[in-house]
Amino acid sequence: MRVRKRNNNNEEENIHRWLISYSDFLTLLFTFFVALYALSSVDITKAEKMTSSLRKVFKVIDEPISFEEDRNKAIIEDLKKLLNDISGINIKSDARGVVITLPDTLLFSSGSAELKPEATEALTRIAEKLKEIPGKVAIEGHTDNVPISSSVYRSNWELSAARASSVLHFLLQKGLNPDRFMIAGYGEYRPVASNDTEEGRAKNRRVELIILR
């Protein structure tokens, strides 16, 4: 009797499972026909308008990126033409924006944050160009890893910050809005080349002006 009872229970469970599966099938079938009817009732003109609207939305999303790239390319081309007769200046675009790299030999004497007379020509041209370009500008000072021996600056960090500050003050004297600028001194801690060679150390001693994105 126990075995027979177990079989009855199994049969009852199977019946319930079958009923559930059949119910699910009917639900799906009903949903399918509703969707089919809805699709057949769609106004083709409205569908095309919707598609056109979606394309415009995605185009609007893509346009800022394209505009930013085109803007940066134009700025770089203008700056290269403006500064092509001054050696040592590098202009490129990276994740931060347009980066103008000025070697320390163009701007300063060794261990000093006082601008050389010959630095004023390059900075004056850059200042005039910055007046045409809206947005924020970061000025970053960098050095190599050779310890500084100076009574004025206790570390390369202080020297790099003072150099960035000197460039900023010059640009402000040319009439640029101080609200646009931020400065930083990184010392030897953001090298772009190896400090094991004189060539690498020379590349690391620099001031960068970044026209931020």
Q: Compute the average pLDDT of residues 18-25.
A: 55
| Alpha carbon distance 135, 98 (integer Å) | 12
DSSP state at residue 133: S
Predicted local distance difference test score (pLDDT) of residue 1: 46
pLDDT at 170 over 60: yes
pLDDT at 141 over 70: yes
Question: pLDDT tens, 125-139?
Answer: 999 999 999 999 999
Predicted local distance difference test score (pLDDT) of residue 150: 85
pLDDT at 103 over 90: yes
| Alpha carbon distance 163, 169 (integer Å) | 10
Predicted local distance difference test score (pLDDT) of residue 65: 57
User: What residues contact residue 77 under an 8 Å CB cut-off, 6+ apart?
Assistant: none
Q: Are strands 137-142 and 181-185 parallel, antiparallel or unpaired?
A: parallel
pLDDT at 213 over 70: yes
Q: Compute the average pLDDT of residues 107-118.
A: 96
pLDDT at 121 over 60: yes
Output the furthest CA–CA distance in the chain (Å, rounded): 111
